[in-house]
Each structure stands twice: as structure tokens, then as C-alpha cells.
Amino acid sequence: MEMMSATPSPTSSPDGKTIAYESSGVQMYNDEGDKEIYRMSAFDGKNKKNLTNNGADVNDSYPVYSPGGQRIAYHTYGQQTSNLDGDYDVYRMSASDGTGQKNLTDGKEGVDNEYPFFSSDGTKIFYESQGIQDSNLQGDHEVYRLNTSDGLGQKNLTNNDANDRVFPD
Amino acid sequence: MATRATTQGIEGRSKRRGGLLLTLALGAALAGVAAMGGVATRADAAFTEKVVFASNRTTGTGVNNPTGDFEIFRMNPDGTAVRQLTANGVDDFGPVLSPDKTKVAYLSYGKQTSNPEGDLEIHIMNASDGTAKRNLTHNRAGVDDYYPIFSPGGKKIAYTSTGKRASNPEGDAEVYVMRSLDGTGQKNLTNNGLEVPGDYPVSDYASDFSPTGDKIAYVSLDKQGSNPEGDAEVYRMNALDGTAKENLTHNGDDVGDTFADIIS
């Protein structure tokens, strides 16, 4: 079975043709200068595209490719229609054009969901969650998973009173 | 450099948790750390993949962590069959799986037999049971090695190293490569020091191999010929020897093509 590990940003697409990365600062297609996820040709840096061009103060970062390369999962913070409380949530979108953006972890205010990575078949996303919620009464760091397609099937995999981390920030 | 990047990452968000690295008080040197969990293969019944993670838990079946520091664990993708892979009195974190999922590279910080200086080192072990541990970057005190990335074939690890040594006289962040088997063949691929006299040395942070393994993408920060503004840019270079460096995101001042959120 083919497996996937999470990768840092900038990250190479599975076929090696594209690099996804995070960029901030006022530039073409990003008048607000907040953090956006771009993609470009891995060969020469051409064909840059802002995949998450979504208004001021919505900061999108940490892109990771699905095993097949069709999707990018990422985390974002800042208020938008799909994230009214503006906390960190895990999204997914089309890797080619940024369409189909979906907040997979929209829930209780003040719960931060970050650092997604895909299962080997791409159907699940693992991530780190922090903040008090029904499945995490202590509100400490826990490792969760959910369905890539609809965000359902959320499960706290490490439910205990200690911190469980996939990412050491 | 790294401090500046850290500030950039924190900017715009007042609430930021006190994380492990901040607890470790490594500050700027660790600003580029971006290791993470992954999914490992193992031929257990029903589950052929594992999730590796770091935890400071002290209780639970099979848990041996009386000092409550961070240790590396693995579990089934449904959260069952948790197994502890490291057991010592120092922090082990940031696990990254080799492409064949048989090895875990991770960061270890604190004095131990394999690391008497206690600085940040990249270790490797067997993913199945935590045996065959080895400090791959065993070098002088004050040289921190972090952010390991396996080559697609698994034989090489690219990483970031900070601290003065013969191959890095300025001690700024540089992208190195070494053999994953034993840590030999360490080579500074971005040895670029003070490109602009009087300015900061150029800091380089490893990011990713190309799928064919012949290129490495990295983030470079500060003034140099190919980046007169000195903001963060995405570069790539030949993985073998660091030649053919190219700035892929050359886009003017104040545009940071960074993993700023990662280093916040």
C-alpha cells in the first residue's frame, strides 16, 4: 500500500511538476497582502496562481498535497463566511485552481485545528486540534482524523490528559 | 533572520499557544523547525498503516514516561494500539517517516548518552519498535540540526543546521544533506554566508525534495545577488552538490514566500 507523510511548505506535488507554497505581502492577485497559498511550476517558477484569494485578514498556509495530487489540504485563520469565529480550521480545495474550498473542521469557537496530512488513500485527513470541545474536555493538543470529502467522521484519536502533537511548534 | 521570521509568523494573531519549541526556549534557532507526523506501514492485523506523533503523556497502557517529557509514539489510524518508541528523560518530537515507512527520523533535545552536549540533534530509529536508535548529526555543542526531510529513495536526509562549525563559519541557518544510514557525508549545500557585506548572513531552510530526488526546494532569507530585497523566497538547487540555485519566486520587497506559519 502506498503511504503518505505530511510535508512542509513549500512542498512538491506528487508528480513533481508543481510547488505549493505560502506567500504574504501585497502583490499581484493579493491586494491585501495576507497569507495566501500559491502554486507555481517547479521547473521555472512560472504560472504562479493564488489558490486562496479570499479577502483581507484571512490567512491561509501549510499546504499539503493529497497522494494523488488533485487536492491540497491547508489550515487557515481569520474570519470568512465558512469560518465565522476566525479560529484555525482545516480546509481542502482543488490543487489546480483552488475551487471547492471546504472548511472541514468548522465547529466550536476557539478550537484550533491545524497541520493536516492525508492518509495513504487520501480519504482521511489527520490533524492536530486544541481547545475545549465535547471530544476534548481538557482542551489540550490531540490528534484527530476526519473524512476528506465532507469533514464528517471526526474522531479524537489520542483522547487523554496530555498533549499529543504531530507538529512541534 | 529567524527572529524576524518568527515575528512575521506571529503577526496578526495575538493568541498563540505556548508550544513545545517555545518551552524549549530555543527561540530563533528553532524557528525553522517543521517536522511532522506521518503514516507508517506495519503488518498488524487489520491495519497496515500507522500514525506517528509526539506525546508527553505519563499514563496509559505500555506508557513509560515518568518525567512527562515528549516521547515518540505510533498508533493505528483509529487511535488503537498505541506503542511508545522512545523512552528517555529528554524531549523527542517532530517524527518524520522514511519513504518506505520502516524508519522514523525525529528531533531529540537534551543531554543523553548519544548527545552529551544536549543540543538539538536528528536521530533515527526503526518505526516498528523504536530499536536501532542513532544520533545522525552528532557534532559539536551549539550546532542545532533539525527539520529532516527524506529523499524519495530514503538514502539521504536534507535538513537545516544552525551554529558555527567548520562548514558553516557564520553559524546561520544552512541546508545540509547526509546519509540516512549513519549520518556520514554531511554537506552544506547553501554555504553562502555574508553575500552583502554588513548585512545579515543568508539563512536557508530545507523544505522538500523533488519526486525524482535530484532537486531540493528551500526558503532563503536575506540579501543576496538573486534577492536584492532580502525577503524570503522559494529557491531550488541540485540536491547532489547545491549547484544551479534558482530563485523561483523573485517578486520584490516585502513579499515573504515563507513557511511563516510553520515557524511561528
Among A1, A2, A9, the strongest candidate for a mutation testing the B interface, having the largest count of B CBs within 10 A, is: A9
Residue B195 is predicted with a pLDDT of 67
Q: What cell does A141 get? A: 493538543
In terms of residues, how long is chain A?
169
Give me the pLDDT at residue B36, please. Answer: 36
**Alpha-carbon distances of B223 from A44, B1, B197, rounded to whole Å:** 21, 11, 10
pLDDT in tens, chain B (264 residues): 222 222 222 222 222 333 333 333 333 333 323 333 445 433 334 456 788 999 999 999 889 999 999 999 999 889 998 999 999 999 999 899 898 889 999 999 999 988 999 999 999 999 989 999 999 998 878 899 998 999 999 999 999 999 999 999 989 999 999 999 999 999 999 987 666 667 778 888 888 899 999 999 998 888 888 888 888 889 999 999 999 999 998 876 555 555 433 332
Whether residue B262 and residue A8 make contact (CB cut-off 8 A), yes or no, is: yes
Phi, psi of B27 (to 5 degrees): 50, -125
Return phi, psi of residue B198, to 5°. 90, -15
User: Which chain B residue lies closest to A39 (C-alpha atoms)?
Assistant: B249
Size of interface A-B (CB pairs under 8 A): 219
Alpha-carbon distance of A51 to B261, in angstroms, equals 17
Given CB atoms, is B175 within the 8 Å cutoff of chain A?
no
ipTM of the complex: 0.85
Decide if B38 and A117 are in contact by the 8 Å CB cutoff. Answer: yes
Please return the burial class of B17, using the count of CB atoms within 10 Å of its CB with bins 0-12, 13-18 and 19+: middle
As a whole number of angstroms, the distance between CA A117 and CA B179 comes to 26
B219 part of contact set with chain A, CB < 8 Å:
yes
Q: Are A119 and B39 a contacting pair at CB < 8 A?
A: yes
Question: Domain spanning B2-247 has what CATH number?
Answer: 2.120.10
A18: nearest CA partner in chain B: B210
pLDDT score, position B47: 52
Q: How far is CA B77 from the centre of its chain?
A: 24
pLDDT digits (tens, 9 = 90+) for A79-92: 999 999 999 999 99
- pTM of the complete model: 0.83
- Please count the helices (runs of H) and the strands (runs of E) in chain B: 2, 16
CA distance A106 to A92: 12
Q: What is the pLDDT of residue B2?
A: 27
pLDDT category at A169 given cuts 50, 70, 90 is low
Q: What pLDDT is attached to residue B253?
A: 53
Which residue from B210, B248, B259 is facing A8, i.e. has the nearest CB?
B259
Residue written as grid cell 543576496: B224
- Residue among A61, A64, A38, A34 at smallest CA distance from A51: A38
For residue B81, is it left (φ>0), alpha (ψ between -120 and 50) or beta? left
* pLDDT tens sequence across A13-50: 999 999 999 888 777 777 788 888 999 999 899 999 99
Which residue is associated with the grid cell 529523499? B151
Instruction: Give the closest-approach CA distance of B57 to chain A in angstroms.
Output: 5
Q: Which of residues 45-74 of B touch A (CB under 8 A)?
A: 48-49, 51, 53-60, 68, 70, 73
Q: How far is Cα A52 from Cα A70, in angstroms, rounded to an integer?
A: 15
Q: Say if B146 is an interface residue toward chain A (CB within 8 Å).
A: no
- Mean pLDDT confidence for A135-139: 94
- Give the closest residue to A90 by CA, choosing from A144, A53, A36: A144
CB-CB contact of A77 with A59 (8 Å): yes
B19 touches chain A (CB under 8 A): yes
> Which chain B residues are Cβ-neighbours of A139 within 8 angstroms?
none
For chain B, say whether A34 makes contact (Cβ under 8 Å): yes
Architecture of the A11-156 domain: 6 Propeller (2.120)
Q: In the structure grid, which three cell numbers stand for residue A107, read together?
A: 465547529
| Range A142-147 average pLDDT | 96
Inter-residue contact B228 to B255 (CB < 8 Å): no
Residues of B in contact with A22 (CB under 8 A): 257-261
Strands A59-65 and A71-77: antiparallel
Closest CA to B192 of B140, B230, B141, B148: B230
What value does the mean pLDDT of chain A take? 88
What's the confidence (pLDDT) of residue A92? 97
Cα distance between residue B155 and residue A105, in whole Å: 37
Q: What is the pLDDT of residue B192?
A: 79
CB nearest to B208's CB, from A8, A161, A162: A8
